[in-house]
Chain A
Amino acid sequence: MPSDVEMTKEYNNTTFKNDKINGNSNDNCDKLHTLECRLKIENENNAQILFTTLNVDKEPSRSKTIRQLELVGKCIVGKFSSIDEKSLQKSVHHFLEMYLLAKSTINVVGKYKYQESVNDEIITTKKAKIMD
């Protein structure tokens, strides 16, 4: 069952507060862009794995985007906020790339099954230590 990506509308969230936004916070709030995505995963175990994998990396220091990740049941909820639309776009794009990579790791490697090879000579176990 493929997971769905649900994108909520872009909206101005005047109630959003964070340490990163200071000084003219009222002015910045007026310009704050947010994006929320909900990634649905087929089971809770995989959702937990994906959440832990993705939650380790923080936003790069030069990024203007603030990212919050939550695990809600089988859903990973990503909330992105930024005063810069381009930075917001890059963050969401990069997050989804990493999500898809981790997900394909689970899907592909999770289905790994050893195939007996007819070319055994090509695949040779070699002693790595080379004696002089």
Chain B
Amino acid sequence: MVCILGIEGSANKIGVGIIKDGVVLSNPRETFNAPPGEGFRPTEVAIHHRTHCVNMVMKALQEAKIKEPKEEIDGIAYTKGPGMGAPLQVGAVVARTLAQMWDKPILPVNHCIGHIEMGRLITGADNPTVLYVSGGNTQVISYSHQRYQIFGETLDIAVGNCLDRFARVLKLSNDPSPGYNIEQLAKNGKKLLMLPYSVKGMDVSFSGILTTIEKNASKLIESGEYTPEDLCFSLQETVFSMLIEITERAMAHNDSNEVLIVGGVGCNKRLQEMMGKMAEERGAKLFATDMRFCIDNGAMIAQAGWEMLRSGQYCDVKDATFTQRFRTDDVHVAWRK
């Protein structure tokens, strides 16, 4: 029996999760929401995380019914990167302190691999082509030779970043998330606005699309030619089609018959629907998780940490640093054959 406590705080969500041999015992989470029209800034997010992190640890232990943490917890996992610097440090500091208090190994987890491992655990996908889409990352990943290899990715901003920034233009609420609010508006959209379609082989680019729709949004809405719902609908159709295309290209290249969507944008039902259709036409199977695990959470870090502990990939507390850039394919995946 191996029980891992994981701490995740690389963006605007602070979460602590406890996993014991594939079972999520607890997974509390707090989200920092900026006012409408604004994004969250590293300093403000770090203050939020410092305020809530210790309480999240207490809540996680309580909900998991841990009676004696020193005896029952076997390792402390934290997000080493990638992410925002100041928020990452909060998770790292708390993890280092707990690891020393309880005299347990500390496990530096890559955020992207946390998403992948939780996606694999929850869905049971064996060796899927992975589409990892969030506010900070957009990658098509496939496992090969002890690495999660990046076959395609965004060349500029993440797709979630594009959606979030367009939500700011429309002054949509950031609660529960701007991407969710765009999704709700898009359901009522009827008219498609043509936007740049920027697939570049296996890679994608979103900055041109964002600039186009940002620049034209106000006058299109004022003229009555398009509604905000139409613009949200159009943006989703365009960027999601691009993601489906590069994912399909990777599946064809790898002869893969499984596709897994992870990351916060993976919550989007329209994206899942479009991916499901592509998978069906290819005779492949789509895997996706729900809001509890799509969105950044502590349990996904605990799960990746669980795998790392099993393969002996822990480190000394004095080496438990954090880094804002941490490539998915930099990690040696010793726990897979």
Question: Which residues of A approach B to under 8 Å, CB–CB?
Answer: 48-50, 52-57, 60, 97-98, 101-102, 104-106, 108-110, 112, 114-115, 117, 123, 125-132
Residue of A nearest to B85 (CB): A60
**In the assembly, what is the distance between CA of A132 and CA of B25, in Å?**
21
Residue of A nearest to B293 (CB): A128
- Having A57-B92, A109-B54, one finds 4 other A-B pairs with CB under 8 Å, namely A49-B100, A56-B317, A105-B54, A105-B98
Would B122 and A101 count as touching, CB distance under 8 A?
no
**In the assembly, what is the distance between CA of A55 and CA of B322, in Å?**
13
What residues of chain A lie closer than 8 Å to B93, measured between beta carbons? 53-54, 57, 98, 101-102, 105
Would B25 and A125 count as touching, CB distance under 8 A?
yes
Contact residues on B (Cβ < 8 Å of other chain), bracket? 35 or more
- Count of A-B contacts with CB under 8 A? 102
Would B54 and A108 count as touching, CB distance under 8 A?
yes
Partner of A131 from B22, B90, B98, B124 at Cβ < 8 Å: B124
Partner of A128 from B92, B98, B122, B320 at Cβ < 8 Å: B122
* A129 and B22 contact, Cβ closer than 8 Å, known pairs A57-B321, A98-B93: yes
B24 sits at the interface (CB 8 A): yes
Would A112 and B69 count as touching, CB distance under 8 A?
yes
Please choose the segment from B60-68, B138-146, B192-200, B247-255 that sits at the chain A interface, where 4 or more of its residues have CB less than 8 A away: B60-68
Would B58 and A126 count as touching, CB distance under 8 A?
no
B1 sits at the interface (CB 8 A): no
What residues of chain B lie closer than 8 Å to A117, measured between beta carbons? 62
**In the assembly, what is the distance between CA of A102 and CA of B124, in Å?**
37
B123 sits at the interface (CB 8 A): yes
**In the assembly, what is the distance between CA of A117 and CA of B61, in Å?**
13
Partner of A56 from B22, B25, B318 at Cβ < 8 Å: B318
**In the assembly, what is the distance between CA of A106 and CA of B101, in Å?**
7
Would A49 and B58 count as touching, CB distance under 8 A?
no
Would A123 and B101 count as touching, CB distance under 8 A?
no
